[in-house]
Amino acid sequence: MQYTNLGRTGLSISRLCLGTMNFSWTTEKVDAFAVMDAAHDKGINFFDTANRYGRPKPGVTESLIGEWFAQGGGRREKTVLATKLYGAMGDWPNEGKLSALNIRRALDASLQRLQTDHVDLYQFHHIDRDTPWDEIWQAMEVAVQQGKILYAGSSNFAGWHIAKAQGEARARNYTGLVSEQSIYNLIERTIEMEVLPAAMDFGLGVIPWSPLHGGLLGGVLKKQNKGHRRLEGRAAKTLEQLRPQIEQYEAFCVEIGHEPGDVALAWLLHQPAVTAPIIGPRTAEQLDSAERAVELTLDAATLTRLGEIFPGYKTAPEHYAW
Give residue 230's pLDDT. 64
**pLDDT for residue 236:** 78
The reply to whether CATH 3.20.20.100 applies to domain 3-215+264-299 is yes
- Model confidence pLDDT, tens digit, residues 109-136: 999 999 999 999 999 999 999 999 999 9
Say whether pLDDT at 233 is over 80. Answer: no
**How high is the mean pLDDT of the chain?**
94
State percent of the chain over pLDDT 70.
98
pLDDT at 74: 96
R_g of the chain, CA atoms, integer Å:
20
Catalytic hit among 3, 53, 174, 313: 53
Which DSSP state fits 20? Answer: -
pLDDT in tens, 127-175: 999 999 999 999 999 999 999 999 999 999 999 999 999 999 999 999 9
Kindly give the interhelix angle for 260-269 and 233-256, rounded to the nearest 10 degrees.
90
- Quick check: 46 pLDDT over 80? yes
What does each C-alpha distance from 3 to 10, 39, 55, 288 come to in angstroms? 12, 14, 32, 17
Gap between the Cα atoms of 58 and 63, Å rounded? 10
Q: Tell me which residue of 309, 198, 202, 319 sits closest to 246, measured CA to CA.
A: 309
* Residue 231 reports pLDDT greater than 90: no
Supply the pLDDT for residue 286: 83
Work out the average pLDDT over 230-236. 68
Characterize 156-193 residue by residue with b for buried, 16 or more Cβ atoms within 10 angstroms of its Cβ, and e for exposed: bbbbebbeebbebbeeeeebbbbbbbbbbbbbbbebbb
Active site annotation includes 3? no
Q: Is the pLDDT of residue 300 over 70?
A: yes
Identify the helix (H) or strand (E) that includes residue 85. Answer: strand 80-85
Mean pLDDT for the stretch of residues 276-293: 88
